[in-house]
Structure 1
Amino acid sequence: MELDTPVVLVNGLIGCLDHPALHQGLHPRPVIAPDLLGYGTLQGMPAGRIDIAAQVQYLHRQLQARQVQRAHLVGHSVGGVVAMLYALRYPQQVASVVSVEGNFTLNDAFWSASVARMDADAAEAMLEGFRADAQGWLSAAGVAADAQRLALAQRWLAHQPASTLQSMARSVVAVTGATRYLEQLQALFAAAPVHLLAGEHSRSGWDVPHWAAQQAASVTVLPGVGHLMMLEDPQGFAQALARLLA
């Protein structure tokens, strides 16, 4: 039965998508939101062993361990790159891909490029500053803070060390900066259903190539939210995913 096909949520540079509202909103579909290398329970992973390719292989091992034969991949921001490359590497195991403002070009990875250029002390100071003022971090992202959003932001900011941010930032810059990346994505769009999901407040900054918008299985703009839509409105985000997958 198609509703048995799991939805795999792949987080962006910061945070975790294992949220009760996402499980509830996608029910009865199984939802898997594993900690990637360097995140959550795996924060102790050496930074030198963390990059996009390693995340793809780790995610594959996780799904094998759960005996998942085929899944819908949902990747947010940098996680969109992980999801796309996973689908290219393991096409028979992917029912569809949902790119949630996933990085297509270096224009999308502009913040990652900034983090990638920092030295270790500067990256640590940046993350500590965010943690000390989670409300300010939300405000800078265009998100009005309430108690629930603030608690979730604090959880996200504590979910990874600065070294993980730098390793992933450097890797996504290398991947999206390579000429062959867009060529790979064109092949993926031609072979599998790829949905594009953006927030109303951040859509204009998402550098989606013209061909991708034309070839996408669907293009959805979620009203009233921005790039951190799953933090800003987790219920609405889950409902949008459920509609896409239906």
Structure 2
Amino acid sequence: MARDALTREQIVRTAVELLDEDGLEGLNMRSLGKRPGAAATAVYWHVRNKDELVLAAADLAWQEIPLPAHDAAPGHWPPAALALDLHAMFVRHPWLVQAFGSYLFHGPGKARFDDHTLGLYEQAGFAPADADLLAAAVFTYVLGSALGAAATASLERRLGRDGEDPKERVAAALARAAETARGFPRLRARLEQPEAADYAGAPDRTLEAGLDALLSGLEARLAVD
């Protein structure tokens, strides 16, 4: 594809696809250039380097998040819906969760999300300074909740590249972890429960339960204030 026929938007969307498939370690200009049918040198006309590309791809991912209205139905506080949609986006793009350790994300997509989030808390009655703190707390909880899925995706890719069977290797590691855990009373009791899937498995609706506790605490704080 000629340079003038290759747009920045095409490049960024293709980068998201490549990142979803191969993770941060699989993204480079050569592999990206092959996707749209362009040479890596043509990609450089639109993005300077990999770091710029990751930032642009991340900002495109942020734009996927729907923004709930301030006047949500009773029992469905808007920040809860927004937090669940944020978590769903992180699960779709696990590389983004890992990238938080080495990138400072910014751009119109993230700014759109951040601005709307602050608006939800301010509309609920929190002062701007408190809204900033509380929005950050919920964001941190959601990001941490998505870390397990991101780590699993990265591990399975790495094992696959090494020629190993990812599922067998993970199962073996979990078996060893469970054996160690049986030496500790509370962990042993948990593993002996019929519904316990494995040592590393979280109970169903863990995200929702934690989010409910966190947001209920914020609402209670608002009532006191």
User: Which TM-score band applies after superposition, normalised by the shorter structure?
Assistant: under 0.3
Higher share in strand: 1
TM-score, L = length of structure 2:
0.25
TM-score, L = length of structure 1:
0.24
Where relative contact order (Cα < 8 A, 6+ residues apart) is larger, the structure is 1
